[in-house]
Amino acid sequence: MPELPEVETCLRGLAPHLTGRRILKLVARERRLRWPVTQAVDAAVAGQPIEAVARRAKYLLLHLPQGALILHLGMSGSLRVLPADTPPAAHDHIDLLLDDGRCLRLRDPRRFGSLHWAPPPVTAHPLLAQLGPEPLSPGFDGAYLYRLSRGRRAAVKTFIMDSHVVVGVGNIYASEALHRAGVHPHRPAGRIALARYERLAAAIKTVLAAAIAEGGTSLRDFVREDGNPGYFARALRVYGRAGLPCPGCGEPVRQQRIGQRSSFYCPRCQR
């Protein structure tokens, strides 16, 4: 599934092509995505200029004068800006026709993506209203994690992957950040000291910033908006490396299921 760095990479690639363009109309070849794409979306966007392209968590936002389109890429979705007359492939479900003869095309083989219309205030939309802070924002730090974690019995990895706590820390980046911070992923969130949360918050920022700089992590379906893969996979220290030596101490990396997700960690470096 595309995570925050992949979506941020997509945003940065698309924004120069979309900002200032006018949407002529929406063409839906398949409306049955994770939630049906309603006719209300068509009516809301037709003839409207794209004033800005932004991101909140893993959602892309196309801001129009009267609201915003909210896009989620689901498990395997991707977006391309193409000539509008480019023949669609089997899983090319949605086109936004633009006033320069091109289109923004959503490809989604598994149909787990979504497209919604949000009137103002956009942040009040149910998909956005309860989200935690952005991990690269000044408001996200160790003190925030420490305060929110008090009394929590859940594993710290589950805690930092909760979008109500902080957005965009997916499975790959949670494993990598916990390794950098030296924190065992199964340790109860409420039993971690402030100093360790300060290291963990810094590690989350470092890992996500590095992944964004590398264009994300391509493991299965994800490619960038230009069709190229992300390259952060080459820098992974523990994720997907079970049995291989930890780059810090040489101990074999272990794999464990935590919260129904595969977690990778070093039993010596992470306590």
Catalytic residue selected from 152, 187, 261, 267: 261
Annotated catalytic, 58? yes
Q: Which amino acid appears at position 162 of this protein? A: D
Catalytic residue selected from 58, 102, 196, 237: 58
Annotated catalytic, 261? yes
Task: State residue 97 phi and psi, 5-degree precision.
Answer: -75, 130
Any bridge partners for residue 28, and if so which? Answer: 94
| Closest by CA position to 3, among listed 68, 54, 75, 53 | 75
Annotated catalytic, 25? no
Residue 260: exposed, middle, or buried by beta-carbon count in 10 A (0-12, 13-18, 19+)?
exposed
Query: Which is it for the CA torsion 147, 148, 154, 158, positive or negative?
Result: negative
- The packing angle between helices 194-213 and 171-181, to 10°, is 130
Q: Which residues carry out catalysis?
A: 2-3, 58, 261
